[in-house]
């Protein structure tokens, strides 16, 4: 039976209505592109290219940027088993803490003295009072006697050292003159300082249609309207001041100093200061989109870069870091781990560079 043009038109209209109704019901499976929100964008690579699953680091690795994730002894045990399987020989737990809080965290890991180090924070209690520096140095020495072999993670996103517990150091940047006795004592005790300054460039841009890292920027956007807040370049400047003025103190800039959008900034610091290192923790998604440039950077500065994660204790997390550092995989996604919409690429670092980043540099820093 041949349908009339009117009947055909009605049939097509009805079919389209049914299609879009089903699309709205099965949101995420079939969507109208005009209504798709960027936060729901989960592309699947169509490229038929080699895909790697690297379950164990090519060389025994030291994770210089972990935190106090486990809540129980059983969870510590489980973490050690995951580390064994992934080839992580040691994890450095950056506690931020001093006082009783540090003591409790340090005690938690004493059953595995060869697998963990717990680093302390700085105590900013009474920082607005005369004599604070002497008290803070005394607490640093006490924590060292309790097992702290480094300090971290210090953190300054513009308003001062906010990460330390129990008292944040509001208004105190790493180059503040009041920090001098603490930095000098770290040099004397050979305690490296792990420090997070600023955020990556996307977090300072407006979270609009022009922002390349929009989804992360929308979540972690830095509010520059706060009185007294320092911007990205100013914060990197405070780090440089401290590194320059304390040449006997070793600094580890977390997250490649949050200079992933312009690694030449960090390169310039490496060229000038031999007491500066940087970890790659929690920025794999920021440097994996530029594998040739980032890879060349890490090859050039292989003696100054250390492995770190800062992303929990799961086996899959470790596997992702190995894949990005070791493989030559192209155009893959990790939607469950990273908030960006862009594809990732492996850096295919050379064996000598991998060995330095995974362990050689860390062993040098941890040598007492």
Three-state secondary structure call for residue 84: helix
Mean pLDDT across the chain: 91
The answer to whether residue 50 scores a pLDDT higher than 70 is yes
Q: Which strand (E) or helix (H) includes residue 162?
A: none
In angstroms, what CA-CA distances link 19 with 32, 279, 311?
10, 50, 41
Could you tell me how many residues make up the chain? 368
Q: Which strand (E) or helix (H) includes residue 5?
A: helix 5-25
CATH 2.30.30.220 correct for 49-366 = no
Instruction: Supply φ then ψ for residue 121, to 5 degrees.
Output: -105, -165
**Lowest-confidence segment of 40-49, 146-155, 170-179, 185-194 by average pLDDT:** 40-49
pLDDT (mean) for 288-305: 98
CA 156 centroid distance within chain: 14
C-alpha span between 365 and 190 (Å, rounded): 9
Joined together, the tokens standing for residue 341 give: 């919409």
pLDDT (mean) for 234-243: 98
**191-229 confidence digits (pLDDT tens):** 999 999 999 999 998 888 888 888 888 888 888 899 999
Please give the pLDDT value at position 29. Answer: 54
Closest CA to 122 of 109, 138, 107: 138
Count CB neighbours of 350 within 10 A.
13
Please give the pLDDT value at position 9. Answer: 43
* 0.85 exceeded by pTM: yes
Joined together, the tokens standing for residue 291 give: 């594998």
């Amino acid at each position: 039976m041949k349908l009339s043009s009117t009947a055909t038109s009605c049939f097509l209209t009805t079919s389209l209505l049914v299609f879009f109704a089903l699309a709205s019901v099965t949101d995420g499976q079939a969507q109208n592109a005009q209504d798709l929100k960027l936060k729901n964008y989960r592309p699947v690579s169509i490229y038929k290219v080699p895909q790697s699953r690297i379950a164990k680091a090519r060389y025994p690795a030291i994770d210089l940027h972990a935190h106090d994730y486990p809540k129980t002894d059983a969870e510590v045990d489980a973490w050690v088993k995951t580390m064994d399987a992934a080839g992580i020989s040691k994890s450095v737990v950056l506690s931020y803490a001093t006082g009783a809080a540090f003591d409790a965290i340090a005690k938690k890991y004493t059953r595995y003295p060869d697998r963990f180090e717990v680093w302390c924070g700085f105590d900013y209690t009474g920082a607005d009072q005369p004599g604070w520096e002497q008290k803070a140095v005394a607490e640093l020495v006490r924590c060292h006697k309790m097992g702290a072999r480094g300090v971290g993670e210090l953190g300054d996103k513009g308003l001062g050292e906010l990460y330390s517990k129990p008292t944040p150091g509001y208004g105190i940047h790493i180059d503040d003159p009041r920090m001098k006795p603490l930095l000098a004592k770290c040099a004397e005790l050979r305690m490296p300082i792990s420090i997070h300054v600023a955020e990556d460039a996307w977090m300072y841009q407006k979270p609009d249609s022009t922002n390349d890292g929009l989804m992360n920027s929308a979540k972690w956007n830095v509010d520059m309207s706060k009185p007294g807040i320092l911007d990205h370049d100013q914060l990197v400047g405070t780090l440089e001041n401290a590194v320059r003025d304390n040449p006997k103190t070793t600094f580890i800039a977390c997250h490649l100093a949050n200079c992933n959008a312009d690694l030449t900034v960090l390169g310039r610091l490496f060229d000038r200061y031999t007491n500066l290192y940087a970890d790659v923790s929690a920025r794999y998604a920021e440097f994996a989109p530029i594998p040739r440039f980032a890879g060349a950077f890490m090859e050039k500065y292989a003696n100054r870069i250390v492995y770190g994660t800062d992303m929990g204790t799961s086996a899959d997390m470790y596997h992702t870091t190995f894949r990005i550092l070791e493989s030559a995989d192209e155009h893959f996604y990790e939607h469950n781990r990273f908030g960006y919409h862009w594809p990732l690429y492996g850096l295919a670092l050379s064996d000598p560079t991998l060995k330095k980043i995974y362990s050689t540099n860390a062993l040098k820093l941890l040598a007492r």
